[in-house]
Amino acid sequence: MEMKGSDIVVECLLEQGVDTVFGYPGGTILEIYDSLYKYQDKINHILTSHEQGASHAADGYARATGKVGVCLATSGPGATNLVTGIATAQMDSIPLVAITANQAVSLLGKDSFQEVDIAGVTMPITKHNFIVKKIEDLAPTIRKAFQIAKEGRPGAVLVDITKDVTIKKGDYKPQVPEVIERRSYTYPTETIKKAIQMIEKSERPFVFVGGGAIAAGASEELKEFVEKIDAPVADSLMGKGAYDGTNPRYTGMLGMHGTKTSNLGVSRCDLLIVVGARFSDRVTGNTAKFARNAKIIHIDVDAAEINKNVAVDLGIVGDAKSILGALNLLLAQQNHPQWLKEIRGLKEQFPLTYNPDILTGPYVIEQIEAMTDSNAIICTEVGQNQMWAAQYYHFRRPRQLITSGGLGTMGYGLGASMGAKYGKPDQVVFNIAGDGCFRMNLNELATASRYNVPIIQVVLNNHVLGMVRQWQTLFYDKRYSATILNDKVDFCKVAEGLGCKAIRVTKKEEVLPAIQEAIDYNGPIVIECIIQEDDKVFPMVAPGAPIDEVFDENDISE
């Protein structure tokens, strides 16, 4: 059948099972928005306050559901405002399709009004991108974009469509989306046999899991594997929930702000099995001294990650779910009672601690966990708030923690929490923020109130850029350059002015009632918690140091 290009765009989105998109209109994308108006009973468009909020909302939707998130923007500044969100998704391997519209083909390259080469801008931060200049290419390109975003290692894809293509009419034939089969990797049988031999020889195995295990849907296979090799488990920030954080085998996060148990355990193990993690510098510390007593098996879907940051003894390229399944079939039950006893001893010797006498970020996180029985979706911003959430909330399942890992995007969490709530409307959704992050994109509270999205925004307000100040305290002789935020901004009044309910908490005994009120309230609500400016995230590894040189406040005082 013949239809306008803009209608073809929406029909293709419906083909792909898209039910919600996030965006902001403008001149060149008006035809697509006119089609969205016609299709409003079939597809839900959420008008955000800023295009960056739209990209983060699409990202949060994707992380919460495992489906492809979709955002829309017009040309020029609309498109460039998506850049941070696109890069955030790509760094964390999140399936995202960003659709932008550009000037007509005849106006490209002429510095036309709001013309930007957004494909050129985003080339380094996307898995792939397209410019559609012909109506006959439109539907195949959108279909291909979704396929690329989902298959293999997921990622962000940009589709830039010239305005004349959205206006022209072309032939459209409905098409059932191509099923993205779990890719079959032909890793040699000898590779699996070698892995089993390494596991059977090991006396102190340790499993480190990253976000790739979540993307692969490998949690059940991972649980069985860990039990079979009788090992402790640590995770990266992106791997939270791949393994149940309430399981006694779980030792906490690994790396710069990982637990002493995880950092020391990985440093003492004789075999480290890494599942779907990319050895980020925040995990490894000094790579030359990382897991220096261990042989390393690295399982990853992306061959480029093998030996990229850390040299490994055995790399297995493929789908984590399939590889773990193959190992589970062939492995005999292993037993390492002495090793697990040593790990339990480390957990008892080095628990996470904070000052119990004052209102702190960790205390707030623990109360949120208690009130939600470890079952809420927790979104975060970046910095101390993020690390406290990762340390003190025990994630039981995949897709519970929604956070910017690789790019470390301040201002990410509020938009992402709205996307998560649209993706999982029956789940309680919190966004944990510091005041520095919150002020970056707090305009999205207006979006939450417009649509009455019942998200719970917690602001841990210490009136400073907490993580940067922590570094300035520890490594810059307390030269607090541009990190003090002790100004006259009243977040509660701002929240109320943007249509949300607000509660200010200044004492420990006020925390639980505020959380209960927020959970019971059917709408967006902000809880501002006033904490001390010099609360710090511990444990910590100094930049460039090996992870076994992890320290806390007691070590500093000694």
H/E stretch holding 273: strand 271-275
Choosing from 113, 178, 220, 493, the catalytic residue is 113
Sign (positive or negative) of CA dihedral 282, 286, 291, 296: positive
Tell me what percent of the chain is helix, strand and coil, each rounded to the nearest 5.
40, 20, 40
Q: What is the DSSP string of 249-263?
A: TEEEE-STT--HHHH
CA distances (Å), origin 445, targets 149, 492, 518, 523: 29, 12, 15, 11
Q: d(Cα 137, Cα 202) in Å, to the nearest integer? A: 55
Non-local (6+) Cβ contacts of 378 within 8 A are: 368, 389, 393, 395, 400, 401, 402, 430, 432
Are the beta carbons of 309 and 243 closer than 8 angstroms? no
Are the beta carbons of 290 and 234 closer than 8 angstroms? no
Choosing from 91, 198, 238, 467, the catalytic residue is 467
Are the beta carbons of 130 and 160 closer than 8 angstroms? yes
Q: d(Cα 429, Cα 414) in Å, to the nearest integer? A: 10
Q: By CB neighbour count within 10 A (0-12 exposed, 13-18 middle, 19+ buried), where does 450 fall?
A: middle
CA distances (Å), origin 317, targets 69, 296, 322: 26, 14, 11
Active-site residue, 395 included: no
Active-site residue, 51 included: yes
Burial of 338-377, coded b for 16+ CB within 10 Å and e otherwise, reads ebbeebeebbeebebebeeeebbbbbbbbbbbebbebebb
Token duo for residue 117: 């080469």
Choosing from 4, 11, 22, 51, the catalytic residue is 51
Active-site residue, 206 included: no
Choosing from 127, 163, 240, 421, the catalytic residue is 163
Are the beta carbons of 491 and 528 closer than 8 angstroms? yes
DSSP state of 184: P
Active-site residue, 133 included: no
CA distances (Å), origin 129, targets 158, 247, 314, 398, 525: 5, 41, 33, 29, 37
Within 230-383, residue ranges assigned H as helices are 260-268, 281-284, 320-330, 337-349, 361-372
Choosing from 3, 114, 289, 533, the catalytic residue is 114
Token pair 């639980």 is found at 512
Token duo for residue 493: 């009044």
Are the beta carbons of 109 and 116 closer than 8 angstroms? no
Angle at CA of residue 415, ends 499 and 361, nearest 5°: 85
Active-site residue, 113 included: yes
Report the candidate in 98, 56, 68, 94 with the shortest Cα–Cα distance to residue 447.
Answer: 56
What is the set of active-site residues? 51, 113-114, 163, 467
